A = this chain, B = another copy of it.
Amino acid sequence: MTHEQPSRSIPGYRLGDPELPQAPVSSADFAHMKTACLLGDDDIDALRRSHDVLVPQTEAILDVWYGFVGSHDFLVASFVDTNTQQPNADYLSRVRARFGQWIADTARANYDDAWLRYQLEIGRRHHRVGKNRTDEVTSTPLISFRYLPLLAQPIVDTLRPFLGTPSRDREDVDAMHNAWRKSVLLQVTLWSHPYIIEGDY
């Protein structure tokens, strides 16, 4: 399966861009990472089943996630324009568009080399090596490391009602939800790479 490119119009979206650097995680390392967080073929299948459940609800899911961020100053701070001290609405909306596409990409679960490269790029955009550059904004230099793993919890927890449509049985909803939990944990671990002391990742 190659990456479909439904979203070339999303500014800064670079999944499949061959100019992204190689990921500093070998395919053997990545296989171990999947094993460590119990992400198996059944989870990949469950993620893919979630695609058509979640994608039509993308805006509603983003409303919940942005609602959570927006309700906490210490999280909104990452989107503040340091000139005006106000949240930068354009920055928020550009990130939101990519976040919406991220739902589809996570659910498509085509975790190949192109996907890995883009995960590392997402990591750089959280860290001071790359934050603000993609969107050419003046904002805080860094999202503190601590929030990468921690925010996996609200992201995954709040997804559950969107998976539990009336036509799905509970076992299937659990399977999709668990697969999402593993995938998000795997991704935040990849995104953490730029924060880690060289040699310690």
A196 part of interface (Cβ distance < 8 Å): yes
A151 part of interface (Cβ distance < 8 Å): yes
A98 part of interface (Cβ distance < 8 Å): no
Chain B residues with CB under 8 Å of A154's CB are 36-38
Contact at A150–B195, with CB atoms within 8 Å?
no
Interface residues of A in 135-181 (CB under 8 A from B): 142, 144-147, 149-154, 157, 178, 181
A8 part of interface (Cβ distance < 8 Å): no
User: Of A13-21, A112-120, A182-190, which stretch is located at the interface?
Assistant: A182-190
Contact at B36–A145, with CB atoms within 8 Å?
no
CB nearest to A69 among chain B residues: B36
A192 part of interface (Cβ distance < 8 Å): yes
A197 part of interface (Cβ distance < 8 Å): yes
A35 part of interface (Cβ distance < 8 Å): yes
A51 part of interface (Cβ distance < 8 Å): no
A92 part of interface (Cβ distance < 8 Å): no
Q: What per-residue 1/0 map shows which CB atoms of A126-138 lie under 8 Å from chain B?
A: 0110000000000
Contact at B146–A36, with CB atoms within 8 Å?
yes
Contacts A72-B35, A197-B195, A200-B195 given: A186-B150 contact, CB under 8 Å? yes
Contact partner of A150 among B72, B189, B199, CB < 8 A? B189
- What is the number of residues of chain A that contact chain B, defined by CB distance less than 8 Å? 38
CB nearest to A73 among chain B residues: B32
Q: What per-residue 1/0 map shows which CB atoms of A22-33 lie under 8 Å from chain B?
A: 000000010011
Contact partner of A142 among B144, B195, B200, CB < 8 A? B200
A75 part of interface (Cβ distance < 8 Å): yes
CB nearest to A32 among chain B residues: B74
Contact at A147–B200, with CB atoms within 8 Å?
no
Contact partner of A145 among B35, B147, B182, B200, CB < 8 A? B200
Contacts A154-B38, A195-B196, A200-B128 given: A149-B149 contact, CB under 8 Å? yes
